[in-house]
Amino acid sequence: MIVDKQKNIHIYEKIIPQIKEIIPVLEQAKDMEVGTYTYPWGKAMIQEGKTRHLGEGEFESHKKYIDIQCMLKGEELMEYANINDLIEAVPYNENSDAMFWKGMGSVLNIPAGTLYIAFPEDGHKPCCHQIRQNHYKKMVIKIKIEKD
C-alpha cells in the first residue's frame, strides 16, 4: 500500500510504468462525469457518494488490477490490512476481480488531494467515516497487472 499526495504520483512511474499515461487523465478528473472510462492500460471510474460507517462492509482485494484511488473532493477514512492478516469472507470472484475479507487494520484519513495505491496483497476498505458522514468524489484507476 502506498499513500501520498496526488501531485507526487509521478514518483511511482518506476514501479508502475502506466502512470505516465494516467497523469493526464488524473489532471482532468475533477471535471469528469461519474462513470467508467476505458483505456489501453485499464479503466478509470469517477465515483461520487456518501461514506458509510467504518464498522460496515468488509475489506476488498483484487488479483487482476492495481487500484489507484484518488480523492478529488471531500474525504474518507480507508482501513488497510495485508490480506495475510485477514480472514476470507467471500472467495475470489474472477468476473468482478474481487474477494472480501474480515478483520481489523489501520485506519487512514484520505482528504482531497491524496491518493493510495492498493496492490493484490492490500486489503482495503474505502469510503468510510467514523463520526460524521462525508460526501466525496474520487477517481478509482484500475491498472491491468501483466502476467508472464
- Residue 34 neighbours by CB under 8 Å, 6+ apart: 46, 47, 48
pLDDT at position 85 over 80 = yes
pLDDT at position 142 over 90 = yes
DSSP secondary structure letter of residue 1? -
What is the span of the domain harbouring residue 16?
2-144
| pLDDT at residue 147, rounded to an integer | 64
Q: List the grid coordinates of 76.
A: 474518507
pLDDT at position 75 over 80 = yes
Kindly tell me the burial class for residue 73, based on how many C-beta atoms sit within 10 Å of its own C-beta (0-12, 13-18, 19 or more): middle
Q: Count of domains in the chain?
A: 1
Q: Tell me, what CATH number does 108's domain have?
A: 2.60.120.370
Report pLDDT digits (tens) over 1-39: 999 999 999 999 999 999 999 999 999 999 999 999 999
% residues pLDDT > 70 (the chain): 99
The mean of the pLDDT values for the chain is 95
Report pLDDT digits (tens) over 95-119: 999 999 999 999 999 999 999 999 9
- Side chain identity at residue 85, one-letter code: D
| pLDDT at residue 146, rounded to an integer | 73
